[in-house]
Amino acid sequence: MKTSLSVGLSLISVISRAWASGETAGVYKFLNCPGESLASSSFRSISEKDALLNLADDWGLSPLYNIEGDAEDYEAISLGKCAQRHSNSTVFVGVSGVEDLDAFLSDKTPLFTIDSAGKGSESFSELREFISDAPTALARLRSDVLKKRRLTAGITIDQPKTEADKFGSVYGQVKSAFKTLAGLFSLQQQQQPFGSSLSELRTAYSGYESVVESLKGSDLAQDRSVVKQFMQLRYFASNDVQHIPCGSVVSINIDVLDQVLAKFGRSDNYNLALGIVSEALADLIESAKMNSAVDVVLVALPAAPSGDSQHEASGIFKREESTPKSACQATQEQCKEAFGSCSGHGTCTKVGKCWTCVCSATVKKGKTSYWKGNECEKEDISSQFNLLLWTTIFIVIAAIVGVKFLYECGEGRLPGILLAATTQTKKSQ
């Protein structure tokens, strides 16, 4: 009896150390399975390969895998499955940078944990690649019925083609809201801390007081990429779950914790970011519970290895700014979906065969600003610079010519009349 107890305590100790050290990933499932229980041992851990196959089945990608033949533990593949599926849509969330599962969604326990098949730069590399490619793979596998749409670089939806028009207006509103937020960022001068515009964010996003207040006085408030991800996640969690079309699969990739870890390490800033992300995801889970047609599957991964070129190029958690968009759109609707409100500095206008953002000047506190970029998101200082440059050049040239003229006048002979007058003056003296 004592031996069994000591073995059990040792197992718990080992797993707790693994969780705290960030060597373990966790999978949470919140499924609509009336009358069924998904509970499993809190300390059940499966291999990375089995976890990948388990998630592939959830994602609807099982035809692309030999699940029965490749599974190391067939029981692991069946973890978190409803005997009869009741939900029509699923939201998959991938969060990178969760170093301690105990501190993440503290009131919830992973359905199972995952042991990485690799170490160092190879840590969870197969799982990261799978989650990165899953939305595209699903769109190709079910191209006859699904259409892939991107709300942001981190939020993608594979939705039925028959529902595209129905969801289009909501999709456009979401894009417009995100672009409005981007416009607030673009109003900031580089020499000013981002915190000075938190009041503007509160006005534009009245439902996000908790996020805004949490960021006050923190270093995170000055990182616009971090704040933007917080706001986008909160927007989707609070507003969009109810608009997900039936039969859709939504993929949300969150890398904000990776960014904070890389910049600040395990610090108060990281704990603040973890709390904001956890709170937003808790709201998303509750919203999904209220909509019984939506399931949520969440994968929490430790920080992505630094210097992983594959991750940076096409990995699971890309920054929104790294995704270029073509300035030329075929229709006005596509232009609005791609660029929203042109960051509030222009309108979607047809130029030749393309619909694109045509930027216009804005006036704030008597100062006129000009804008450029595909989304009119960058302030154009070229006109002011050119004016200052050529004015300076003209003044310098005028000064040089003036000095040269005066010097030449001083060295030359005076005209005859002036010379005679000068000579008579000298004689009289």
Q: Model confidence over 45-94: pLDDT tens digits? A: 888 889 999 999 888 888 888 877 788 888 888 888 887 766 678 999 99
Confidence band, pLDDT 50/70/90 cuts, at residue 213: low
**Alpha-carbon distance 43 to 40, whole Å?**
8
Within 13 Å, how many C-alpha atoms sit on residue 24's CB side? 22
**Among 380, 395, 420, residue at a domain's last position:** 380
**Alpha-carbon distance 229 to 207, whole Å?**
16
Contact 303, 261 (CB under 8 A): yes
Q: Beta strands 89-96 and 249-254: pairing type?
A: parallel
Residue 128's Cβ-count burial label (10 Å; 0-12, 13-18, 19+) is: buried
**Structural domain harbouring 403:** 382-428
Same domain, yes or no: 376 and 387? no
Same domain, yes or no: 228 and 358? no
- Cβ atoms < 10 Å from Cβ of 271: 14
Residue 306 inside a domain? The answer is yes
Secondary element (H or E) of residue 250: strand 249-254
Residue 17 inside a domain? The answer is no
Same domain, yes or no: 387 and 376? no
DSSP, res 372 = E
**Alpha-carbon distance 118 to 126, whole Å?**
9
**Alpha-carbon distance 100 to 337, whole Å?**
37
Same domain, yes or no: 170 and 185? yes
Residue 260 inside a domain? The answer is yes
- Number of folded domains that form the chain: 3
Residue 18 inside a domain? The answer is no
pLDDT digits (tens, 9 = 90+) for 347-360: 888 888 788 888 88
Q: What is the pLDDT of residue 238?
A: 74
pLDDT digits (tens, 9 = 90+) for 127-147: 888 888 888 888 888 888 888
